[in-house]
Amino acid sequence: MPYKEKEIEKRYYTIGEVADELGVATSLIRFWETEFDIISPKKNRKGNRQFTKDDIKKIKLIYHLVKVKGYTLHGARDFIKSDINAATTKIEMIESLKNIRQFLSDIKDSIQKS
């Protein structure tokens, strides 16, 4: 059986990586950190933010509510306070469906090229 290299999973992400993933400015993430108490990244000795996957999920939730759904910051805070688990599950489902759509689109493209 051939040796299969195990992929190294990252534990912490920089604010720049998170901003790039969402396509927003780092300043927006810093702003949301002050506005939403669910975002509390760890900071290293230099004071640089270190985001976990859980932090990124929460930021994606805020992004979805504010940028996609058009909630005000106050409305998004209220929505999160009412049921963060349901909101997070909904966002994860949307992400999963987007990935499935992309996968199917890639298959369609590869079939058409054949």
Q: How many helices (H) and strands (E) does the chain have?
A: 5, 2
pLDDT in tens, 51-85: 999 999 899 989 988 998 899 999 999 988 887 77
Three-class DSSP category at 91: helix
Q: What is the mean pLDDT of the chain?
A: 88
Asked if the model's pLDDT at residue 27 lies above 80, the reply is yes
Domain 15-113: CATH architecture, name and number where available:
Orthogonal Bundle (1.10)
Which strand (E) or helix (H) includes residue 49?
strand 49-50
- pTM of the model as a whole: 0.71
Asked if the model's pLDDT at residue 1 lies above 60, the reply is no
pLDDT value at residue 41? 94
Domain boundary assignment for the chain: 15-113
How far is the C-alpha of 29 from the C-alpha of 31, rounded, in Å? 5
